[in-house]
Each structure stands twice: as structure tokens, then as C-alpha cells.
Structure 1
């Protein structure tokens, strides 16, 4: 069968047009624009900032409030992660994992960023927003930020640096604004202690100070898990009977205290971080020194380092909340009160007893979860603690992160502040929180930079 010539011609022309279009597109493929690929960046700028801010806060007088500063650096760690996470393919915002965290500012998908500059700007801004600083401190932070910016400008276009700087600062502002709604409160104004029993905490010698942090558990945590987390009950009941397990636990603290060796005193002092400006280390800079040492030793890049600073920061804030919830729930008597009532009326603990209940341990409450986060990130690796090298003291070397945690815990027994069972339970309690934090998956394994 033959088509009429005119109809056949039209079909032939249509087929020819299709063929020509096909040939045209085979020679000139349509290129769909792609976002710039992130480049592997060093975490050096971050390490430099954490070391620098320790120098800024060390001579402060008065020293920063311990629990307040822990909380602040928790937010700073989260902000650091948000400032750089877009540079790691597939990385997710912490806004999807943290309790009531709002959406964070977003980058321009089709634009280039230098993530080191985003971190530089974010950290400089957050330090000025969160920390109590003098005008001279703020000027030194500005100088540090500008020195980094100038260094980056030698190899990065100005428009990229300005875009990166603006993004880092926008993250800092968003994190600070979010922090204002967390209800953080260390005051005891309005606190009504429970009825006093023989096993109750009461203000302790020598200062007999009012309680600190009874309402801390009411502040908003980073994890929903931490809204209700509570340490397990005491392993045995309070008793003043000399044959009881409780009496024996107190007697151990007393016996150690009256026979302290020089080595035990040095251990207690190392972890006390006390002594005032340029003598001790304001919290959490001992903690941050260890975290930074581990990350430098493991050659973490910018994205890995930022994620670990964020997770250990979450541990510092929520560790305090969960610990103080437990302290005021159990309201347990301190060793110094029990000993002076039942064993030795003149006894004093080697370290000053802080003004809040004994169980669980404050030091371990902060240390155990962040150490567990480090272990989950890098393994139970050997670690050097060189936090006091600026005073000429040699680093304390540990065969593992767990060994470091165990020494920090026993230091409070040497100091006369805690019973051994408190320290052992506090380690397990804190590690549970550390595991909850470590289970937050932010980066697909096949996308994580080494």
C-alpha cells in the first residue's frame, strides 16, 4: 500500500527533523549545573580557637561559673557543627535530633564556601555572645578572627570568604537566640528543701553555702532522653550502724582522707582545677583540652572534629542536667557531714565540699558522657592529659580513655567528696548518656570524611 505523495513527504520531513534534533543533542549535551563539591579542610582553625579561648578565660576574675560555662560550650559545639556541616556531603542538621531545636540558616546550594572561615566566624561570634568577657577580651577575639580571615584570603576569593563569614555569623546568632529559651537556672531562690532526715544533705563546712542548682533539671536539655533521665537508687540504704554497708563506705573515705599520700593529693588537685585565676583551669577547659588533644592525635578533619565537639558539648550540658536531677532527687548526705557526726568531729575533706547533695557525682556526671562519646568516635585509645603544661607540670599519660575517667572518678574519693559506690554508679550512669548521644547519626558512613 502506498501513501499519497504529499502525505508521505510530510512524514519524511518529520522523521528528518527528529533525526536532526537527535544528532544535535548527541553532539551538545545539556549540562545540568551541579553544586561545588566540598574540599577536605583541616580542623586547625578550630583547635586554635579552643586553645585561644582557654587563654582568654584562664585569668578571669572571678572565674566563670562552672556549670554555666559547661552549658555555654555545649551550645558553642552545636553551633560549630552547624556552621560547617554543609561541607560534608549528606550530613544532617542537629535540628532533626535535638529537643526543640529550630531549623538553622541554610547555605546557597550553588555557591562556594570556605568552611574553615565559616567556623572561624561562628566561633568568634559565639564566644562574644555566650561568654562573660572584658572589652580587651573581645578585641583579642576580633584580632584572632581577622588574622584567620587574612590568612585564608591568600588562597580564597574575597566573595567566597565574605559569604562564608556571613553564614558562620548567622549560625552563631541562631544558636544564641535558641539558647535564650532553655530556662537555665542555677539559683536556689524559691527552693524549699525536703524534710531533713539523718541521711539528708545539709549545707556543709566551712562555708555552709546555700544550695546550687536545685532547678537545673527544669532547664531544657539537648536530648529528649534527658527530660527524665535519673540515676538508679542507692545500692544499699542509709545507715549509721557501724556494721552497715553505708557506714563502711563512709569510713573508707575517712580512712583514705587521714592517710593521703602525696601522689593521692596530686591526683585530687589535678582534677579539682581549683586555685583561682592563672592557677587552676576554668571549666570546661580541662575537658576541652582533652577533647582537642584526642582529635589532633587522631588527625580529624574539620567535619569529624566539628561533629565530636558537638556531641561532647551535648554531653556537658545534659550531663549536668541529669546529674543535678539525681542529686536533688536522692538528696544524699555528704561524707563531711556524716563523718563529723559519727566518726570525727574535727575532720575536713581534703578538697572543699561543694554546696549540693552527694549522689550522683558532679565531676563524673560531666566526664563520663563526654569520654564515652570520644570512645565511640575513636575507640578506647591511649591519651595524654597535658592541661597543665602551661604551669610546667608534665602530662598525665593514660593507657586508655577509660583509665583517664577512672582516675578522675577516684580523685573525688581522695578529695573526701564522694563515696566509692557513688563514683562507680556515676560512671555507668554517664556512659548511658554518652551512648545516647553517640547514637545520633548525622553523616552517612559512606559520605563521612576520614
Structure 2
């Protein structure tokens, strides 16, 4: 019996080794170099959405559908990787590839193009990226026959993802009328300098990707509103005021490095100017790129990193926005101007939605948990904001970067500390739930 057991164990070990060897052998030889196409597509999305002036929530939605589409178009060519079909809410099994030869680079590119062309307003960016990529692959020697078959399959996958996206409630939310926020001194009200109406107040109605419902995982509640100097609420607001008045150079730099407000307005007398910049989700997409390139990750692992990070960010925003418009908590600039210092202004422009909890803290923690799972707890140099003449910041790991992003909102004067810490806790829990529910690797 013991001898038989040994033989069985040996056979199992040989089978496992054969599977691993076969999987490695089956990975396309172009995988390492092909990661460049994925990075270019994600940057194309980022660049287009900066110019489109989208909201943080809608930006995360575009990243998620586009990255999942490209992942799904390539996954049949990579033994050892698993489809999201049947794992994400509402996503049915994906179309099977034909038996004719498929170039998985082309399939992923075609899927990106198909979905981006549907979701972007500036879809011409997607068209130009697609044409350049296909032309380059032709020059590399990919036959027209293989390109045609691969494009057809990638577009079929893209159409499947588009049909899935059409049922997530987004269109209905966009068609909903103006949000009537509650009236009272404890509630959020439009903030200077633009005094804009709140963005995406009905986002809680959008279908989550992994969460069972929008409020499945929520952060700790905000402190009860109070004007009592001895209350937790007053003390939290006072900290924002005092920190803002005594910012060090490093704190000021931290606030501005993680600003990531998609649109920023400047006022000079009666004139107003607006600038556009990368979003919180876009910042973390770039961090994923930095580390993927540093580690030499191939196309499929890069697609995996972008897809999982996008999904965690999307569900993070969903949970956060559900919380924001549940409590409608007053922003520091309103509270401080009203009860402490009428002339005080925050370093950062307050975005047009309630305080609790912090969206940036939430999605930064969510992204950091996923990226740690994919890449490990590794150091990196974040050059995301160099285009705004900001210096490169070095972080020992993703979680430290997320903590820096959360704290930046206190330094910037746009969130109380409790909102940042609550958001970070929420984002971490959401990412852990996602990673526990969804698997991208076969067992």
C-alpha cells in the first residue's frame, strides 16, 4: 500500500510538472514584448479621458470594461489564466476563439478598440491607436489572414463586453434628474470657487463588478455633526484648519502630488481658467505600468494587473459614493468658513461632492492591495505627476503610497482625517473581497 501511495504521489508530481511545462511552452513567444501594446492602450484611455473631463466614477468604469475586454480576448491563448466569465456580476461565458490561428496581441488590441470606441467620447484616439498597432504588427510579419481572424475574434469579445456594460444601470443613472441634497447646516452644500452641483449622486444604482451590492462593504460612519468645541466633529475640522495654516513644504508637495482632480479652476478677478489633469484612477493605472515595466511583466500578466486594479477601483468608488450620498457630510471649507475662519481656503480645490468618505483614500487602498498581490510589496518611483512639473516620489511599497495619498487629503484641506482613514479601511476590505471572490489563475 505504501509503495502504491508513493507511485501515486510520483505520478501526480510528474503530471503537475508536465502541466506547468506545457503551460510555459504554450505561452506565445511574443508575450514579453507585447506588453507595450497594453501600456499604450491604457495611456490612450487616460489621455482621452483627461481631455473629456470625466468624473472619477465614470473614469473607473471605462478602465474596467476596456481592460476586462482586452484580458478576455487574450486569455484563451494563455493556459494557466482564467476568464472572468461567471465570476463578475452579470458577465456570462465569453465567446470561444475559432480553431484558426489567432494572434492574441491583435485580439486584445481589437477588443480594446471595440470597447473604447463605444465608451470614449473622443473615440478618434482609439482609432489612431488601433491603426498604428495593426500597421506595426503587419510590419513585424503577422499575416493578413491571421490579423483578420484575430480582429474578428477580438471584436466579438468586445461586443460581448459592450452588451454586458449596457445592463449596468449607467445610462439610467445619467438620465436621472438633478439631485436634491438635504437642507440643513450639517449637510454638504456646493463649495467655492465654482459652487458646482454634486457629481454622480446616484452612482450607488450602478451595478457593482464583484460586490453583491453597492453597500455590501462600507466604511465606519462619520462623526456626528456638532459645533461643540469638545466634540469629535469639531476637533476633526479644527485639525484641517490648523494643518492648513501651518503646512510644511513637504506637506504642501504631498497634497499637490496626489491632487488628481480631473478639472481645476483658477480665478483672477472676473476671469476663470480651467486646467485638466489625471484622475485618481489614472494615477494608479500609471503606477501599475511603472512596476509592470520594472519587473519585465509580459502581456498577459500586465492585462491581469490592469484588469484587477480597475475592478477594485470601480467597486471602491461605488462603495464610497454610496457612503457620500448617504450622509451628505459638510466639507471642511464650508464648516471652517462658517464657524472658525471666514477667510480660510484649502490648498486644494474642493471637488463637488460630500466629504465622507475620501474617494482617493478608498481607491488608493483598493489598488494598493491588488498591486501588492500581483507584483509583491516592492519599492517604486512614481513619476505620474512629472507632466505637471512635480518631482518623482519614491515609495517602499504600494500600501505606503496609498497611505500617502490618503493623508494628502488632510494636507490639501478637503477631508477630515477620519474620512481618509475610513476610506482607506473600506478600500482595503473591498480589494480583499475582490481577490477572494475572483480568480485569474487556474488551480
> Of residues 305, 308, 311 in structure 2, which corresponds to 1:308?
305
What is the root-mean-square deviation of aligned Cα atoms in Å? 2.5
In structure 2, distance between residues paired with 1:190 and 1:281: 26
Higher mean alpha-carbon deviation, 250-259 vs 270-279, is at 270-279
Q: Does 1:182 align with 2:182?
A: no
In structure 1, distance between residues paired with 2:175 and 2:192: 20
Unmatched segments (≥5 aa) in structure 2? 1-21, 265-273
- How many correspondences in the alignment? 405
Q: 1:211–1:388: structure 2 CA closer, same or farther, 3 Å change rule? A: closer
Q: What residue in structure 2 maps to residue 117 of structure 1? A: 106
Q: Does 1:49 align with 2:41?
A: yes
**Do the aligned residues in 1 keep the contact of 2:53 with 2:276 (CA within 8 Å)?**
no
Q: Does 1:400 align with 2:397?
A: yes
1:312-354 CA distance string (max 9 Å, x none): 1111221111111011112212111211222112222221212
Query: Equivalent residue of 1:227, what SS?
Result: coil
1:139-166 CA distance string (max 9 Å, x none): 52243232333244x2x44433322221
**Do the aligned residues in 2 keep the contact of 1:311 with 1:373 (CA within 8 Å)?**
yes
In structure 2, distance between residues paired with 1:323 and 1:66: 11
In structure 2, distance between residues paired with 1:279 and 1:197: 33
Query: Equivalent residue of 1:388, what SS?
Result: helix
1:127 positional shift: 2.2
In structure 1, distance between residues paired with 2:204 and 2:45: 28
Q: What residue in structure 2 maps to residue 163 of structure 1? A: 149
Q: 1:186–1:413: structure 2 CA closer, same or farther, 3 Å change rule? A: farther
Q: TM-score, normalised by structure 2?
A: 0.84
> Of residues 50, 56, 61 in structure 2, which corresponds to 1:66?
56
1:159-204 CA distance string (max 9 Å, x none): 333222211111122212221221123576253434x344222222
In structure 2, distance between residues paired with 1:251 and 1:186: 37
Q: Does 1:292 align with 2:292?
A: no
Higher mean alpha-carbon deviation, 45-54 vs 330-339, is at 45-54
1:216 positional shift: 0.3
Q: What residue in structure 2 maps to residue 255 of structure 1? A: 242
1:263-294 CA distance string (max 9 Å, x none): 32222121113566886325643221111112
The correspondence of residues 25-40 of structure 1 with structure 2, limited to 5 A, is 37-40=26-29
Q: 1:365–1:352: structure 2 CA closer, same or farther, 3 Å change rule? A: same
Q: What residue in structure 1 maps to residue 181 of structure 2? A: 193
Q: What residue in structure 2 maps to residue 131 of structure 1? A: 120
Unmatched segments (≥5 aa) in structure 1? 1-33, 446-450
Q: Does 1:78 align with 2:64?
A: no
Q: What residue in structure 1 maps to residue 427 of structure 2? A: 430
Q: 1:232–1:408: structure 2 CA closer, same or farther, 3 Å change rule? A: closer
Q: Does 1:332 align with 2:324?
A: no
Q: 1:412–1:188: structure 2 CA closer, same or farther, 3 Å change rule? A: farther
**Do the aligned residues in 1 keep the contact of 2:244 with 2:346 (CA within 8 Å)?**
yes
Q: What residue in structure 2 maps to residue 141 of structure 1? A: 129
Q: 1:432–1:264: structure 2 CA closer, same or farther, 3 Å change rule? A: same
**Do the aligned residues in 2 keep the contact of 1:327 with 1:360 (CA within 8 Å)?**
yes
In structure 2, distance between residues paired with 1:351 and 1:278: 13
**Do the aligned residues in 1 keep the contact of 2:113 with 2:126 (CA within 8 Å)?**
no
Query: Equivalent residue of 1:384, what SS?
Result: strand
**Do the aligned residues in 1 keep the contact of 2:357 with 2:419 (CA within 8 Å)?**
yes
The correspondence of residues 208-227 of structure 1 with structure 2, limited to 5 A, is 208-227=195-214
> Of residues 73, 76, 88 in structure 1, which corresponds to 2:78?
88
- Give 1 or 2 for the bigger CA radius of gyration: 1
